[in-house]
Amino acid sequence: MALRNIVTLPEPVLRRKARKVTEFTKDFEKLVDDMVETMREAPGVGLAAPQIGISERVIVVEYGDEEDEEAPKKLYVVANPEITSASEQIVSGIEACLSVPGLVGEVERYYGVTVKGLNRKGKPVKIKVQGWLARIFQHEMDHLDGVVYTDRATEVWSPREGEEIPAD
């Protein structure tokens, strides 16, 4: 495993639609491992391959239970993710991003989504998530289409000193 550099705006790869993952080789496994290590070191709660300069449709997300901070975090690896259903409820929340340092923004997202894709071995997965975890998935999936949260934000600002927002 190796740490990768996280690219920031205006890096062009962040604005491109990423290509589908078609081969689940040792190189892909290494990419996933590097993404997980990079996300944890940053520290962040999610990372999309374009954020490390790789134009492939793969995300990693690691987040624990919102109500139980002592519960272990769960790691998700999804290649070629797609939202297959979304809640009618839209919620507003504050987001930050490792690729947009120094800013936070208010973004409206679906409260819950069902995501289908492939795991790190290329096997189908279906994941139902709600709340903050659903927000993280939507944020990371946007990166695969060249969208950053500031494109969707109703307001963007520099956080006050000491204001902590988990970065996706």
- The one-letter amino acid code at 146 reads G
Q: Sheet containing 90-95: which strands, arranged edge to edge?
A: 90-95, 104-110, 155-157
Catalytic residue among 62, 69, 108, 140: 140
Q: Which of 135, 83, 71 is nearest to 108 (CA)?
A: 135
Residue 134 near residue 81 (C-beta atoms within 8 A): no
Taking residue 130's Cβ as centre, other Cβ atoms within 10 Å add up to 15
What residues have CB less than 8 Å from 42, skipping those under 6 apart?
Answer: 6, 98, 167
Whether 140 sits among the annotated catalytic residues: the reply is: yes
**What SS3 class is residue 88?**
coil
What residues have CB less than 8 Å from 20, skipping those under 6 apart?
Answer: 56, 57, 80
The residues annotated as belonging to the active site are: 140
